[in-house]
Amino acid sequence: MLTAEELSMLRKAGETAAAARSLGMDMVREGVKLYDVAQEVEGYIRGKGCGLAFPCNISVNEIAAHYTPSVNDKSVFEAGDVVKVDCGAEVGGFVGDTAGTVEVGTKRHTALIEASKRARDTVAEIVGAGTPICEIGRVVEMCMHQGGFKPIRNLCGHEIKPYNLHAGVSIPNYHNGDSDKLTSGMVVAIEPFATNGEGIVLNGPLGNIVRIQRERKLADPKAQEFFDYAKGEFKTFPFCARSCDFPDAERHVRTLIRHGVLTGYPQFIEARKGMVSQHEHTFYIAGERAEVTTLP
């Protein structure tokens, strides 16, 4: 179980991430730059005294996850886009991880968006200490099928530990037969993804998000200085060049990827280019009913 101080940090991270998520979703309008939304979301998190648990993901249409705009990204939202805003705040390594989906200017995909939201909210009513992991997946899958959609089977929620965003237990979006149970003291992110496509994602091109893969001495002193900065600023969490307050960060990130110091995250793209919606909360498992730390 978390101490009172640890729980306070977890709650602050969750409350901050939730407010940042709402801010980002409210900004999604036709003609607005993806870059501007990401900057505002991350600026809000930092302005509240929190660190970034990962770059603000803004994944559009068939892209399910792992895209964040670069500094030079001029792309804007278009009518009919289905936009996932996924953000995370951290305080002392404790994380609030949350996401929501909005449609730009039309209502063609309302049912799809409601399917992932309904799945997340239904799970919130049953999850707690002793809940079988497969039961969470069963509920998610049931909610998707009720709306005529599919869960994305090879994406899942995850346990979160201090300074470790994806740790331990995975939370499936379908009934996978895992009879292991959630236990008191766990922190888990549950994130149903719904689609009108195949229900599987494939790896696409890199989405501008990286993490430290290994440490090694770099011959280029500026590259070494950048690496030391990134390690101090983001610790073990994923990051992107856009979020770095360091000159020529884009070039340094490319250099460190070539040297194997950093590794990039591929975009997750629905196999049949189906539309994808996502809703996510972070839960603290503290009894028969979990505490949702990322409520508005």
Catalytic residue numbers, as ranges: 86, 97, 158, 166, 191, 280
**Whether 96 contacts 18, CB under 8 Å:** yes
Give bridge partners of residue 206 from the DSSP assignment: 266
Q: CA of 254: how far to CAs of 118, 180, 223, 257, in Å?
A: 40, 41, 10, 5
The secondary structure of residue 199, as a DSSP letter, is S
Question: Reduced to 3 states, what is the DSSP secondary structure of residue 229?
Answer: helix
Secondary structure (DSSP) of 125-146: HH-STT-BHHHHHHHHHHHHHH
Residue where the block lists tokens 């719904």: 194
Residues 6+ apart with CB under 8 A from 219: none
Cα(219)–Cα(225) distance, rounded to whole angstroms? 11
Q: CA of 69: how far to CAs of 64, 138, 230, 237, in Å?
A: 15, 34, 18, 18
Cα(267)–Cα(65) distance, rounded to whole angstroms? 6
Q: 44: part of which helix (H) or strand (E)?
A: helix 34-47
